[in-house]
Amino acid sequence: MAKFVSVEEAVALIPDGASIMFGGFMGCGSAHKFIDALSKSGKKDLTVISNDASMPGGPLGEEFYGIAKLVHNRQIKKLIATHVGLNPEVATQSMQEGTLEVVLIPQGSMAEMIRAGGSGLGGVLTPTGVGTIVEDNPYCLGKQTINGREYLLIAPLRADFAVIAGYKIDKAGNVWYKGNTSNFNIVMATAADTVIAEAEVVVEIGEIAPEDVRTPGVFVDYVVEGGKYNG
Amino acid sequence: MAKFVSVEEAVALIPDGASIMFGGFMGCGSAHKFIDALSKSGKKDLTVISNDASMPGGPLGEEFYGIAKLVHNRQIKKLIATHVGLNPEVATQSMQEGTLEVVLIPQGSMAEMIRAGGSGLGGVLTPTGVGTIVEDNPYCLGKQTINGREYLLIAPLRADFAVIAGYKIDKAGNVWYKGNTSNFNIVMATAADTVIAEAEVVVEIGEIAPEDVRTPGVFVDYVVEGGKYNG
Amino acid sequence: MDRSEIKSFIAKRVAKELKDGDVVNLGIGLPTLVPNYLPEDVHIILQSENGIIGTDTVTEENKDPVHVVDAGGSPSAIAPGGAFIDSSVSFGMIRGGHVDATVLGGLEVDEEGSLANWIIPGKRMPGMGGAMDLLVGAKNVIVAMEHTAKGNPKILKKCRLPYTAVKCITIIVTEMGVIKVTDQGLVLTEYNPEFTIEEIQAATEATLIISPDLKPMV
Amino acid sequence: MDRSEIKSFIAKRVAKELKDGDVVNLGIGLPTLVPNYLPEDVHIILQSENGIIGTDTVTEENKDPVHVVDAGGSPSAIAPGGAFIDSSVSFGMIRGGHVDATVLGGLEVDEEGSLANWIIPGKRMPGMGGAMDLLVGAKNVIVAMEHTAKGNPKILKKCRLPYTAVKCITIIVTEMGVIKVTDQGLVLTEYNPEFTIEEIQAATEATLIISPDLKPMV
């Protein structure tokens, strides 16, 4: 059952070298307060699974937005992502300095790999990436022909931690996402040993109708109250 | 885009011999008005994909509930389901009379097969059914060992039609499900050539928040207004 | 003990296997009695595989049989803090190891911890429903059943009926004892003092390993 | 035509490929101009692969850059009747053939209808994002691009850059013409009368099959 903790307590759960999934798409739907605290914590050698590396300039004038803070502070050893082009520091650290390992995965495959990791499936059979260098990806386990069409078999993906962000989270840990912030948060909440969810607003049980819960509280281990995000 | 039609117009879309997915779990979340009209239509030789065959006695005193009406009228030639034990007419027609072919599939596998069919995946790799007679199922394409664990490769499932039922459907075809009526409706809406959705209540655009839409209107071809269901 | 007492006795013992906060899926029949025997400080979350996390007792006020049913198709209800989910999410949750325990009955179990409870060929056509997924996915699989059927052992060397799932059982609780499934075989860890060890073994086709820590069942 | 006119010209022709009610995903750059050229009676639904079905123009009133962004990370908005979905549903929709068309640019395309547009090895590290899924899943893949890059052909016999997807393109629209991908190869179906067929072929490395129904581009 979800335990409500301070952001400092939540960050203290993360050891150096941990693998962490971060929800969010270019910072939209990321756990900004947690990430900010983590970026100041000195935790290092992280393996990060995230759609992207966000970007330096945020929409509210932030110098670094979302996990771009962790990139900038060189806390990430390995980044598994679908797109890193809007954060030039990734290319610097990976291609020039060689201090950051980057594995690129198609976005739809990444969503399915995480879903498979969280739902006990053995892998993903997707037509995406057939005939491309994705076939040489470390997560690509082979190619199979089913009913005359070729598919790549891609491995499930799990992590030690998932750090997700919801708009409303109730006292039972049920999460409701605003706008299109749900993106990777929903699948990531199912695919990690420990799930930390940051709320903009903590609400009473009943304020999210049971039909409108998008991440059930049983998936959430810790809730951090982040407050309404305003940069 | 979703077109609003009468239940008669919707039933007229179905040819004899069509394959139809019906959402619902023991009649909960089934398109009762559509099914009632279909049961009186004389359409025959249907292949039906449904969690179950529902049951004779409904919760509001119905003599036959949900697709039990189609079973009773012998309109189904083949039934792909997870559980048929609560409708004794299935055993009669399949085991005694041999007029109904039944294929049984584990419930979680069926949900994933339909999801795979609707989302362009080549199959499902599930540990469910390993070592059981499910391995002899016509949808089981083989057994694979991935990271030391055995999985069955199960084929995706699609149909000519999906007939789903929502509580609220807005004028753009967006669906909101009440209680646990969403069950198979959500995946089925993605996995058929033509999707017919029955609403208990048709609402204006905006009455379902974009975040709370569970089946987006772009998946729905036809909407039937069924009215609040009261037996 | 009459059959009703036997069922209560088994359910009471199964209740001790559940921890506060556990997400639990209960099969039909005997397993549904288990929550009655939980200590006051143990609160579990009942999952219904057709899409309810946190079922509640049905009352005249919350009853909505058209929109909320349990896995047997009977009216159900949702507890405060619960959530409704669709079938693909529900079975993702089950297969993905997010259900702490499933409690269910068995027709036959065997030395490998395999279970047969879904079909008697030629006799019935029920279907496996969600049972195969639950057995494969739940962290703990607790079989709660009478030790014998009409005097015949149900705990066999090898199941004769078609399997529901192989090598899936964590623990078997009967009116005669508690049996843990281990790599070595079936280990009797607790016994009902109404029976001797010999009587328990005699009612069991599989060979029971007697735990060095064997205790009476309470 | 200057480059801005070229882009408008291409976008205008691409707009004719879209039908009323189509669900369309637009890549960055040129493709975003396409909706400006739709006839009044053609309404399309724009999908953003990071979870919006039915994007709308951002205004001061609807702007919420913290919670609603497009696939480039810029502020977006949702149109009436739209829906927000998560990434697994969004890419299920894309791979499952529920997107009628995707319009995107290309670095190179080839005779087999393959496309390279995501990486120049050693030069940049962008990532494929959702492009590979869109190319494989969308019913129609429309490449909208300038015919050449600095005078060099972009329509090749075989892509030299790493593929984004193979055998995926439906149609290629450039300022010189409209090229359909068929089993026989690349068929020029329309030409811009500012150019001769010889000039178009000269700017194209791949061999163009001239359609018997060749028409001027309008």
Chain B residues with beta carbon closer than 8 angstroms to that of D82: 172, 210
The per-residue pLDDT for range D77-107, each reduced to its tens digit, is 999 999 999 999 999 999 999 999 999 999 9
Q: The tokens 């556990």 sit on which residue?
A: C22
The per-residue pLDDT for range A28-76, each reduced to its tens digit, is 999 999 999 999 999 999 999 999 999 999 999 999 999 999 999 999 9
Q: Report the residue of chain A nearest C52, measured CA to CA.
A: A210
> Sorting pLDDT into bands at 50, 70 and 90, what band is D108?
very high
Q: What is the CA radius of gyration of chain A?
A: 17
> Sorting pLDDT into bands at 50, 70 and 90, what band is D218?
confident
Computed over every residue of chain A, the mean pLDDT equals: 97
Closest Cα in chain B, distance from residue D14 (Å): 21
Is residue A179's pLDDT more than 80? yes
CA C103 to CA B127: how far, in whole Å? 20
Query: Inter-chain contact B211–D23, Cβ cutoff 8 Å?
Result: no
Joined together, the tokens standing for residue B89 give 């007419």
CA B160 to CA B11: how far, in whole Å? 13
Query: Inter-chain contact B170–D91, Cβ cutoff 8 Å?
Result: no
Q: Report the candidate in A121, A117, A152 with the shortest Cα–Cα distance to residue A137.
A: A152
Query: Inter-chain contact A146–B123, Cβ cutoff 8 Å?
Result: yes
**pLDDT for the residue A165:** 98
The per-residue pLDDT for range A208-219, each reduced to its tens digit, is 999 999 999 999
- The three-point CA angle B106-B108-B111 to 5° equals 110
> Sorting pLDDT into bands at 50, 70 and 90, what band is C123?
confident
**pLDDT for the residue B178:** 98
> Sorting pLDDT into bands at 50, 70 and 90, what band is A230?
confident
Query: Inter-chain contact D73–A55, Cβ cutoff 8 Å?
Result: yes
Partner-chain residue, chosen from C45, C84, C96, that has the shortest CB–CB distance to A119: C96
Q: Report, as residue numbers or ranges, the catalytic residues of D.
A: 49
Is residue D123's pLDDT more than 90? no
SS (H, E, C) C99-155: CCEEEECCCEEECCCCEECCCCCCCCCCCCCCHHHHHHHCCEEEEECCCEECCEECE
CA B216 to CA D99: how far, in whole Å? 13
**pLDDT for the residue D188:** 98
Counting DSSP H helices and E strands in chain B, the numbers are 6, 12
Chain B residues with beta carbon closer than 8 angstroms to that of A147: 122, 155
Q: With residue D83 as reference, give the H or E element that holds it.
A: strand D77-84
Is residue A131's pLDDT more than 90? yes
The contacts of residue D92 (CB under 8 Å, 6+ apart) are A108, B115, B118, B119, B120, B190
pLDDT (average), residues C62-86 = 97
Query: Inter-chain contact C83–A174, Cβ cutoff 8 Å?
Result: yes
pTM, full prediction: 0.98
Homologous superfamily (CATH) for A3-105+158-225:
Glutaconate Coenzyme A-transferase (3.40.1080.10)
The contacts of residue B158 (CB under 8 Å, 6+ apart) are B114, B117, B118, B191, B192, B193
Q: Report the candidate in A44, A54, A62 with the shortest Cα–Cα distance to residue A24.
A: A54
Closest Cα in chain C, distance from residue A135 (Å): 26
Domains and CATH numbers, chain D: 3-216 (3.40.1080.10)
Is residue C93's pLDDT more than 90? yes
**pLDDT for the residue C92:** 98
**Where do the DSSP E strands lie in B121-186?**
124-126, 140-146, 149-154, 159-170, 175-176
Is residue C17's pLDDT more than 80? yes
Distances (CA, A) of A100 to A69, A216, C46, C67: 14, 34, 44, 51
Partner-chain residue, chosen from C53, C92, C136, that has the shortest CB–CB distance to A218: C53
Computed over every residue of chain C, the mean pLDDT equals: 96
Q: The tokens 């065959």 sit on which residue?
A: B53
Q: What is the CA radius of gyration of chain D?
A: 17
CA D67 to CA D49: how far, in whole Å? 15
Is residue C121's pLDDT more than 90? no
Joined together, the tokens standing for residue C113 give 């911890």
**pLDDT for the residue A1:** 77
The per-residue pLDDT for range D171-216, each reduced to its tens digit, is 999 999 999 999 999 999 999 999 999 999 999 999 999 999 999 9
Closest Cα in chain D, distance from residue A70 (Å): 18
The contacts of residue C140 (CB under 8 Å, 6+ apart) are C17, C100, C101, C102, C170, C171
Query: Inter-chain contact B130–C166, Cβ cutoff 8 Å?
Result: yes
Task: Please give chain B's pLDDT, 231 residues, in tens.
Answer: 799 999 999 999 999 999 999 999 999 999 999 999 999 999 999 999 999 999 999 999 999 999 999 999 999 999 999 999 999 999 999 999 999 999 999 999 999 999 999 999 999 999 999 999 999 999 999 999 999 999 999 999 999 999 999 999 999 999 999 999 999 999 999 999 999 999 999 999 999 999 999 999 999 999 999 999 988
Q: The tokens 């070229």 sit on which residue?
A: D6
Is residue A124's pLDDT more than 90? yes
Residue B29 main-chain phi, psi, to 5 deg: 90, 20
Partner-chain residue, chosen from B118, B170, B213, that has the shortest CB–CB distance to D96: B118
Q: According to DSSP H, which parts of chain D are helical?
A: 3-15, 87-95, 131-137, 197-202
**pLDDT for the residue D124:** 73
Q: Where in chain B is the domain with CATH 3.40.1080.10?
A: 3-105+158-225
Closest Cα in chain B, distance from residue A61 (Å): 27
Is residue C124's pLDDT more than 80? no
Q: Is the dihedral of CA A23, A28, A30, A31 positive or negative?
A: negative
Q: At what angle do helices A107-118 and D87-95 cross, to 10 degrees?
A: 120
SS3 D10: helix
Q: Is the dihedral of CA C161, C137, A123, B215 positive or negative?
A: positive
The per-residue pLDDT for range A88-111, each reduced to its tens digit, is 999 999 999 999 999 999 999 999
Partner-chain residue, chosen from A118, A121, A172, that has the shortest CB–CB distance to C81: A172
Joined together, the tokens standing for residue B193 give 């050539």
Joined together, the tokens standing for residue C205 give 């086709």
Q: What letter represents residue C66's amino acid?
A: V
CA B73 to CA A177: how far, in whole Å? 45
Neighbouring CB atoms inside 10 A of B16's CB total 12
> Sorting pLDDT into bands at 50, 70 and 90, what band is A162?
very high
> Sorting pLDDT into bands at 50, 70 and 90, what band is C218?
confident
The per-residue pLDDT for range C129-160, each reduced to its tens digit, is 999 999 999 999 999 999 999 999 999 999 99
Residue A69 main-chain phi, psi, to 5 deg: -65, -40
The contacts of residue C172 (CB under 8 Å, 6+ apart) are C106, C109, C142, C143, C145, C155, C178, C179, C180, C181, C186
**pLDDT for the residue B60:** 94
Is residue C61's pLDDT more than 80? yes
Q: Report the candidate in C27, C21, C181, C126 with the shortest Cα–Cα distance to residue C10.
A: C27
- ipTM of the predicted structure? 0.97
Contacting subunits of B (3+ beta carbon pairs below 8 A): A, C, D
Bridge-based pairing of strands A149-154 and B159-170 is unpaired
The per-residue pLDDT for range D154-164, each reduced to its tens digit, is 999 999 999 99
Hey, which residues does A26 pair with through a beta bridge?
A: none
CB A33 within 8 A of CB A198: yes
Phi-psi region of C167 (alpha: psi -120 to 50; beta: other; left: phi over 0): left
* Residue B10: DSSP 8-state: H
